[in-house]
Structure 1
Amino acid sequence: MTPRLLAAVAAGGATGAALRWACGEAVPDGAGLPGTTLAINVVGSLLLALLPALAVVRRSPALCAAAGPGLLGGFTTLSAASEQTRALLAGGRPALALGYLLGTLAATLAAVALAGRWTARSRSAA
Structure 2
Amino acid sequence: MTVIDILIIGAGGFIGAVIRYLLSGKFNKEGSSLPFGTLIVNIAGSLLIGIVVGLGVPKLWTLFLVSGFAGALTTFSTLFKELLQLWFGNRKRQFIGYILLTYGVGILVAFVGFIIGKAL
TM-score between both structures, scaled by the size of structure 1 = 0.85
Residue equivalent to 1:6: 6
Cα distance change, pair 62–118 in 1 and its aligned pair in 2 (3 A):
closer
Matched residue type, 1:18 = V
- Runs of 4+ that moved beyond 3 A: none
SS in 1 for 2:90: coil
- CA displacement at 1:36 relative to structure 2: 1.3
Give the distance between the partners of 2:99 and 2:29, measured in 1 at CA: 15
Partners of 2:54 and 2:115 within 8 A in 1? no
Cα distance, 1:93 vs structure 2: 0.9
Instruction: Give the alignment's Cα RMSD to 1 decimal.
Output: 1.7
Alignment partner, residue 30 of structure 1: 30
Measure, in 1, the Cα distance between the counterparts of 2:91 and 2:20.
25
Alpha-carbon distance in 1 for matches of 2:114, 2:12:
23
Instruction: Provide the TM-score with structure 2 as the length reference.
Output: 0.89
Question: Counterpart of 1:109?
Answer: 107
Look up the match of 2:77: 79
Q: Distance in 2 between matches of 1:5 and 1:16?
A: 16
Asked whether the 8 Å contact 2:13–2:70 carries over to 1, the reply is yes
Residue 50 of structure 1 is matched in structure 2 by 51
Whether the 8 Å contact between 2:43 and 2:109 is mirrored in structure 1 is yes
**Percent of aligned pairs with the same amino acid:** 26
CA offset at residue 74 of structure 1?
0.4
**Runs of 5+ in structure 2 lacking a partner?**
none
2-side partners of 1:103 and 1:113: how far apart?
15
Greater Cα radius of gyration, structure 1 or 2: 1
Deviation of 1:33 (Å):
0.6
Counterpart-to-counterpart distance in 2, 1:65 and 1:99: 32
